[in-house]
């Protein structure tokens, strides 16, 4: 690189590293001369200045060495903290641009903060990150990779790093080799068990970042947030994101419904339970449970007769379509749905069928008692 180009490069690096006062014209010239115009060597030298190393030491102990790059790398590498060193070795042992997300994941699981490690390595001009969120990539010059590979065998926790490398390699391959759902489940379990707030926060960042690979993973985010007791609106936000991508997933609607019930939002819980029933119309157990909740809700909230079909029609239709398969419990609950809609005759038929299977079924007997009372009141009105 010519001097003019080198000067621009070094001044730009100095601004980035907030060490412009140290990057004087004489400093630029000395670095350029001793680095032999090699761009990466000059960036590393600037990184050392950014760390507060004097120009004399940079030149005398590093750039004056015949092995310019190795000497600079070694100084920068030794100055890294444990997390940044781990990041450097992982990225340096891989080829090409490395997706940041799986690296963030393995670092978080090892107890390191990815953002801090990246910032430290970038300050030392060892690598750079580009892009955002799930599309973020980590880039490293080939000369830096060569140095990193040479350091790996003698590094602490080499076996752990090699396992992490395999995880990142699988993540890069795609095509189903990395089960993202399985990874998310493992992370979810780890987050809930983790006691250290800072590590739990970092793991949560990874889980949320995984939604960039698979939007359905928002359900895991919602479940984790719910278990950690974060503000209810943050849990709802995650459930909303999940529902946008899985609108027909009954289990998702049920989980969201259960959360709202736990929060004391019974009306919203019932609405979501109806969504769950609509998504799984043949599930007799689910629709029976929904019918029971709806009937109780109508009674407690004193829902007007004209509004009741809005709450009952979907579940009532689902159970009617499974009529021949219903046992006394769902029959009694279907009967109550008809009863609260003032269809006394159909409520009676549901109870009668239930009693033909179990003559002592409590809820079917209760319906029959209500039916007799309604019939008696109707007869009395006709006489008047």
> Edge-to-edge strand order for the sheet containing 128-130?
98-99, 137-139, 128-130
Question: Residue 172: what pLDDT?
Answer: 57
The residue ranges of the chain whose pLDDT is under 70 are 36, 61-69, 133-134, 171-179
Residue 128's φ and ψ, nearest 5 degrees, are: -145, 150
Distance between CA 230 and CA 247 in Å, rounded?
Answer: 24
If we measure between CA atoms, which residue out of 143, 99, 140 comes closest to residue 122? 140
Question: Residue 231: what pLDDT?
Answer: 95
Q: What does DSSP assign to residue 129?
A: E
- The string of pLDDT tens digits covering residues 190-200 is 899 998 888 88
- Please identify, in words, the CATH class of the domain defined by 262-384: mainly alpha
> Which residues lie below 8 Å from residue 238, measured CB to CB, with a gap of 6+?
218, 219, 221, 222, 225
Question: Residue 27: what pLDDT?
Answer: 92
Question: Residue 76: what pLDDT?
Answer: 86
Question: Residue 62: what pLDDT?
Answer: 58
What pTM value is reported for the model?
Answer: 0.70
Query: What residues does each domain of the chain span?
Result: 1-79, 80-178, 179-246, 262-384
Question: Residue 176: what pLDDT?
Answer: 43
CATH of domain 80-178: 1.10.10.10
Distance between CA 137 and CA 128 in Å, rounded?
Answer: 8
Distance between CA 105 and CA 112 in Å, rounded?
Answer: 10
- Compute the Cα dihedral for 183, 186, 192, 196 and give only its sign: negative
- The string of pLDDT tens digits covering residues 12-68 is 999 999 999 999 999 999 888 877 677 878 888 888 888 888 888 887 765 555 566
Distance between CA 222 and CA 255 in Å, rounded?
Answer: 9
């Amino acid at each position: 690189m010519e001097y003019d180009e080198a000067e621009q490069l070094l001044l730009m690096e100095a601004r980035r590293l907030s060490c412009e006062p140290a990057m004087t014209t004489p400093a630029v010239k000395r670095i350029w001369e001793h680095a032999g115009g090699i761009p990466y060597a000059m960036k590393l030298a600037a990184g050392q200045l950014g760390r507060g190393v004097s120009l004399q030491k940079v030149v005398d102990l590093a750039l004056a060495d015949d092995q310019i790059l190795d000497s600079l790398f070694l100084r920068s590498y030794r100055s890294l903290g444990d997390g940044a060193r781990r990041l450097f070795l992982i990225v340096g042992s891989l080829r090409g641009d490395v997706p940041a997300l799986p690296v963030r994941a393995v670092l978080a699981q090892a107890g390191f903060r990815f953002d801090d490690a990246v910032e430290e390595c970038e300050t030392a001009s060892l690598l750079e990150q580009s892009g955002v969120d799930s599309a973020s990539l980590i880039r490293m010059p080939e000369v830096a990779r060569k140095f990193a590979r040479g350091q790996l065998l003698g590094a602490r926790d080499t076996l752990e790093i090699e396992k992490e490398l395999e995880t990142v390699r699988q993540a890069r391959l795609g095509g189903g080799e990395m089960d993202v759902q399985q990874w998310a489940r493992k992370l979810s379990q780890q987050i809930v068990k983790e006691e250290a707030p800072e590590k739990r926060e970092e793991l949560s960042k990874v889980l949320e970042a995984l939604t960039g690979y698979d939007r359905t993973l928002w359900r895991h985010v919602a479940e984790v947030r719910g278990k950690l007791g974060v503000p209810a609106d943050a849990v709802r936000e995650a459930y909303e994101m999940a529902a946008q991508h899985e609108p027909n997933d009954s289990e998702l609607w049920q989980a969201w419904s259960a959360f709202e019930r736990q929060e004391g939002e019974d009306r919203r819980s019932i609405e979501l339970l109806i969504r769950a029933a609509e998504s799984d119309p043949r599930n007799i157990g689910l629709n029976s449970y929904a019918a029971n909740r709806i009937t109780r809700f109508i009674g407690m909230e004193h829902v007007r007769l004209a509004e009741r079909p809005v709450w009952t029609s979907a579940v009532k239709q689902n159970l009617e379509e499974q009529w021949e398969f219903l046992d006394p419990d769902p029959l009694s609950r279907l009967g109550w749905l008809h009863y609260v809609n003032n269809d006394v005759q159909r409520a009676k038929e549901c109870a009668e069928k239930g009693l033909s299977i179990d003559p002592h079924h409590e809820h079917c007997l209760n319906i029959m008692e209500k039916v007799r009372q309604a019939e008696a009141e109707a007869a009395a009105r006709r006489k008047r």
